[in-house]
Amino acid sequence: MAYQSSQKDITDDFKMQRIENFLSHASRSDRVRLNLMLREGISPNVQDYDNTIALHLAASEGHDSIVELLLHYKRKETNGMTTTGNWENITGDSSSSTGEGDERDDSR
């Protein structure tokens, strides 16, 4: 039983670190890493311990291109193009990913 508890703590710590990285990328205008995490399935709506979201950080730092990127993914999520109904999907954990990701047109 103790092993399962410590395993869950490690998993939760990893997920929280992932959220902190995501928010840091938004705050520093790191478009490449932010876009990579979004394509991997992290929700643009993830929040840290005090409910701060990436959109708020990017807007407060004046990172217009990051705000646009986050709004693009928020629209996709709102329109049902991604599923974020549980913790794993919110953090982009591939072990429970729905397989739905960024849809792009590769026909060009």
Q: Residue 86: what pLDDT?
A: 42
d(CA 51, CA 65): 22
Residue 31 and residue 65 in contact, taking contact as beta carbons nearer than 8 Å:
yes
Query: Which residues lie closer than 8 Å to 31 by C-beta, 6 or more apart?
Result: 65, 66, 69
> What confidence tens digit (pLDDT) does each residue in 18-69 have?
999 999 999 999 999 999 999 999 999 999 989 999 999 999 999 999 999 9
Average pLDDT over residues 80-100: 47
CATH topology of domain 21-86: 1.25.40
3-class DSSP state for residue 51? coil
Q: Indicate the domain borders of the chain.
A: 21-86
3-class DSSP state for residue 42? strand
- pTM given for the model: 0.67
